[in-house]
Structure 1
Amino acid sequence: MTGFALPLALLANGLAAGVLMATVLGVVPFYKTLATPDYVRAHAFAVGRYDPFQPACLLVTFVADVLVAVTEPRLAGRVLCAAAALTAGSVVVVSLTRNVPMNRWVKAQDPDALPAGWDMETFRRTWAWWNRTRTWLAVLALVLNSSAAVALL
C-alpha cells in the first residue's frame, strides 16, 4: 500500500502546497495593488479557479496519508504519515472556517455596489493572513510526506 499511497500523497500535497505558495508569492501582492472594485473582481475570479482543485488535492493527500499510517509496518512511516494527515487536515479546517467563508462573501458582492462601511484593507489583510497560515501548514505536510518517502521508499 505504501508504494502506491505515499507517492500519491506526495503528488497531491505538492500540488496543493504549490497552488497555495503561488498565491502567497504572486496573487496576494497583486491584490494589494488593486482598487477595491478591481480587488473584488480579481478575488472572485481566482476563487472559482482554485477552489475546485485545491480541496481535491488536500482530500487525496489526507486519504493517502491515512492509508499509509494504518497499513505501514514501520513506525517511522506510520508516525510521519499520521502527522502529515493531521497537518493536511488542518489546512482543510483553516480553509473551511476562515478563507472559504470570506471567498464566498467576496464572490457574492457587486464590485460596483459594495456594502457601506466595508473595510477592504482589513478584509484583505485577514484573508492573506489565513492564506499564509494554511500555506505553511500545507508546506509542513509536504515536508512530512517527503520525510516519509525518504525513510520508506
Structure 2
Amino acid sequence: MVEALSVLVLTGTGLVAGVLFAVAVSVMPALIAMTPERYVSTHILLGRRYDRIMPFIVTGSTAVDVGLAIRASGGPRALFAVAALCMAGVAVVSQTRNVPINRVVKRTRPEDLGPSWRDPRPAWRGWHLVRTCLAVAGCALTAAAVVVS
C-alpha cells in the first residue's frame, strides 16, 4: 500500500511541479509578449482545462503526503509533512491569488480594453512563481521522503 501511495504522490507532485514550471518558463513569457487583447483571448483558452484538473491533483497530492507523513517515522515523516505544507501552499496561493486574477480576466472582453485597463500579468506572474517554487520543493521533498523510507 505504501509503495502504491508513493508512486501516486510522486506522480501527482511531479505533474504539478512540471506543469507550473512549464507555464513559468514558456507560457508566461509568451503571454507577456502579447498585446492585451490577444493576451485576454489566449488566457481564457489556456485556463479551460487547467482550472478543472489542477486543483484535484494538488489536493490529492497534499492528502497523500499527509497520509504518508502520518504513517512514516523519523526523517521521512518530517519530509512528507513539509512536502504536504509546500503543496498546501500551492493550493492557497492558487486559490487566493491566481484564481481571482483568472476570474477577472475571464470576464474581460478583449474589445473593451482601453487605456485604463490594469494589466494583471505582472501580479499573476509573481504569484505563479511563488507557487512554482512551492511545487518544485514539494516534489523534491516527497521524492527524498520516498527514497529514505
Fold-level similarity (TM above 0.5): yes
Match of 2:95 in 1: 96
Select 2:127's aligned residue among 125, 130, 152: 130
Please state if 1:49 is matched with 2:49.
Answer: yes
Gaps of 5+ in 1: none
After TM superposition, the structure 1 stretch with the greater mean CA deviation from structure 2, 79-88 or 108-117, is: 108-117
Q: State the AA in 2 paired with 1:133.
A: V
Please state if 1:117 is matched with 2:116.
Answer: yes
Match of 2:59 in 1: 59
Gaps of 5+ in 2: none
What is the CA-CA distance between 1:115 and the residue it aligns to?
Answer: 6.4
SS in 2 for 1:32: helix
Match of 2:31 in 1: 31
What is the CA-CA distance between 1:101 and the residue it aligns to?
Answer: 0.3
- For the aligned residues, what is the CA RMSD? 1.2
Q: Where do 1:65-80 residues align within 5 Å?
A: 65-72=65-72, 74-80=73-79
What is the CA-CA distance between 1:116 and the residue it aligns to?
Answer: 5.9
What is the CA-CA distance between 1:108 and the residue it aligns to?
Answer: 1.1
- Equivalent residues of 2:36, 2:113 under 8 A apart: no
Identity %: 37
Match of 2:104 in 1: 105
Runs of at least 4 residues off by over 4 Å: none
| C-alpha distance in structure 2 between counterparts of 1:115 and 1:89, whole Å | 37
| C-alpha distance in structure 1 between counterparts of 2:45 and 2:97, whole Å | 18
What is the CA-CA distance between 1:114 and the residue it aligns to?
Answer: 2.9
Match of 2:148 in 1: 151
What is the CA-CA distance between 1:4 and the residue it aligns to?
Answer: 2.2
Select 1:141's aligned residue among 127, 132, 138: 138
